[in-house]
Structure 1
Amino acid sequence: MLPSTTLRFLHILALLSGDGLTAPAAGSRMQDVGEHTMPELESLHVFQSLNRSPHARLEACAELGDGLSAAVWSNHHDAQDYQAPSHHTLSCYIGGGTGTFRRDRPGTKGGPDKLCILPAEHQSAWVINGEIRLAHVYFSPEQFALGCVTLLDREPRELQLRETTFLEDARQARRFHQLISLNWLEPGERLLTSSLAHELLSHTLLNQVGVRDGLRLKGGLAAHQRRRLVEYIDHHVEDPISLGQLASMCALSEYHFARMFRQSFGVP
């Protein structure tokens, strides 16, 4: 899916994800927004936690668009607790980390090129002994939902990102090294930066996603309706799209379509 299509999709989802949703006016239009569809980096829990630490140093960070952000950190002799972040985090140890471990798994240590996958709503506590340099890619639940539909052709609510600690994946580690070698703020390297971030996300979705245990789905759009909507948005990315148009494709009122769209593509 093209980045512009992704932005449009995420914007539509954002419009329909608010609490207290009321029936929209007929023919209401959805306007394009800028690329910062994910909250600013400073509002992300994992980013905030490291940024508050006197031991951690932020080397680089950037909003990459499409619900993706990245940061490079160095840290030493620290402790970090992550309590139910609202975003997903992919992490790669670039250097050091041999003295880093989770408090609940003290016998398992990190090291260069080790990967961690920290899903939204997870909880973890870390001890950092010695030096560590690491790269993070943060992505939104909406971007995860979009990937479930476009890559896996699955209902996002039935899937979850598997929490993983110190995974070894040479291909992903190489992508992280490529990513941090680029100037994220240089317009000429922006497309490659975004492409690498999307590759990291796609690889994770294809290899580290599992079915939610004990979930019984109610409501939402059918699989063929989800596919048709994504294809329509993809082919009309430059055109104004009304809520009524999308609702009519599913033979639903705008009000009920909005709720079912949110159920199928939003956060479970």
Structure 2
Amino acid sequence: MPLLDNLQVFQALNSSPNARLERSAGLDDGLVAALWNNRHDAQEYHGPTHHTLSCYIGGGTGTFRRDQPDTKGSPGKLCTLPAGHESSWVINGEIRLAHLYVSPEQFALGCITLLDREPRELQLHEDTFFDDPAQVERFQQLLRLDWNEPGERLLGSSLAHELLSHTLLSQVGQREGLRVKGGLAPHLRRQLVEFIDQHLADPLSLGQLAGMCALSEYHFARMFRESFGLPPHQYLLARRLEHARQLLRGTRQPLGEIALSCGFASASHFTNRFRQVVGATPGEYRLAFVNQR
């Protein structure tokens, strides 16, 4: 979970005397939700390092961007504010809005696992006051949950992932004017992805992966992150946990067998790491999907 101190959009609102934070919570996997209300304010965002998905819950009919003064917000309107964007806002009257903050690492992982694309080739399109009823319903479902209730953590995390996945599928495009420099060659990236997915149960080492690319561990780690947006150990853990999710949803394998097939030394180690990332134990995760059938 990214620290709130590192979320520039959150901190900009939090420092305003007119904005009030109703509640916020880390939903794991680099996702943070927040519910705000604000009135008679002005805000500027200068190149945040994270992405922000926004949904207007109430009011906002006097809110506009300074570069788009004729376009006003209203309940049910959505905004997508990508990392690195610049925007200046005027809030006339009152507004209530929900935010989902997305870490660059989670965006990168989504590009890899959902789109099968290199993250640095892609960018999230900036969009202001657009309509998407399915996304609005997901936000509203998220707001109906008690984010601090452990029993609702899994559903909250799942909704946050659905919000991000839908955004990736609908609003991510080729980065304009891209000149890819550095990183690993395309054929090496493909070989690494295939090798890691085929050896999730094995105790992979940094030296083993670096050797496939004829690089030192130091240079490989730097170039891997430049190519995939994640360090090797985080990428490997994410792929192992994604495989575990698939097995928990689609099979009746015992948890011990799933743990070993996903590269965890024991069921207890698997349970601890799974809970840290997903917010529920593997057994609770499996039961939640069984109950939905």
Normalising by the residue count of structure 1, what TM-score does the alignment of the two structures yield? 0.80
Q: How does 1:152-231 map to 2 (within 5 A)?
A: 152-221=115-184, 222=186, 223-225=189-191, 227-228=193-194, 231=197
CA shift in 2, pair 1:232/1:191, >3 Å: farther
- 1:260 to 2:223 alignment: yes
Paired amino acid for 1:143: Q
CA shift in 2, pair 1:57/1:230, >3 Å: farther
**Matched position secondary structure for 1:109:** coil
CA shift in 2, pair 1:255/1:83, >3 Å: same
Match of 2:58?
A: 95
Q: How many correspondences in the alignment? A: 227
Paired residues of 1:225 and 1:250 also in contact (CA < 8 A): no
CA shift in 2, pair 1:190/1:232, >3 Å: farther
Q: Give, in whole Å, the separation in 1 of the partners of 2:120 and 2:131.
A: 28
**Matched position secondary structure for 1:79:** strand
**Structure 1 stretches of at least 4 aligned residues deviating more than 6 Å after TM superposition:** none
Q: Give, in whole Å, the separation in 2 of the partners of 1:104 and 1:45.
A: 21
Deviation of the 1:98 alpha carbon: 0.8
Paired residues of 2:109 and 2:229 also in contact (CA < 8 A): no
Deviation of the 1:226 alpha carbon: 5.0
**Matched position secondary structure for 2:27:** strand
Deviation of the 1:243 alpha carbon: 1.4
Paired amino acid for 1:220: G
Paired residues of 2:60 and 2:94 also in contact (CA < 8 A): yes
Paired amino acid for 1:52: S
Match of 2:8?
A: 45
Q: Which runs of 5+ in 1 are unaligned?
A: 1-35
Q: Which runs of 5+ in 2 are unaligned?
A: 231-293
Deviates more, 1:43-52 or 1:239-248: 239-248
Structure with the greater relative contact order (CA < 8 A, sep ≥ 6): 1 or 2? 1
**Matched position secondary structure for 2:112:** helix
Paired amino acid for 1:242: S
Instruction: Find 2:78's aligned residue among 112, 115, 121.
Output: 115
Instruction: Find 1:143's aligned residue among 99, 106, 116.
Output: 106
For the aligned residues, what is the CA RMSD? 1.8
- Identical-residue share of aligned pairs (%): 70
Deviation of the 1:218 alpha carbon: 2.7
Paired residues of 1:94 and 1:112 also in contact (CA < 8 A): yes
Paired amino acid for 1:79: A
**Matched position secondary structure for 1:65:** coil
Match of 1:27?
A: none
1:100-152 deviation digits (Å, cap 9, x = unpaired): 00011000000111110111111100011111110000011111111111111
Match of 1:86?
A: 49
More strand by share: 1
Paired amino acid for 1:183: D
CA shift in 2, pair 1:88/1:64, >3 Å: same
Deviation of the 1:249 alpha carbon: 4.6
Paired residues of 1:160 and 1:209 also in contact (CA < 8 A): yes
Deviates more, 1:251-260 or 1:80-89: 251-260
Instruction: Find 1:70's aligned residue among 33, 46, 49.
Output: 33
**Matched position secondary structure for 2:67:** coil
Q: Give, in whole Å, the separation in 1 of the partners of 2:194 and 2:109.
A: 13
Paired amino acid for 1:164: D
CA shift in 2, pair 1:165/1:246, >3 Å: same
Paired residues of 1:149 and 1:226 also in contact (CA < 8 A): no
Deviation of the 1:219 alpha carbon: 3.3
Q: Give, in whole Å, the separation in 2 of the partners of 1:212 and 1:45.
A: 23
Paired residues of 1:149 and 1:227 also in contact (CA < 8 A): no
CA shift in 2, pair 1:191/1:85, >3 Å: same
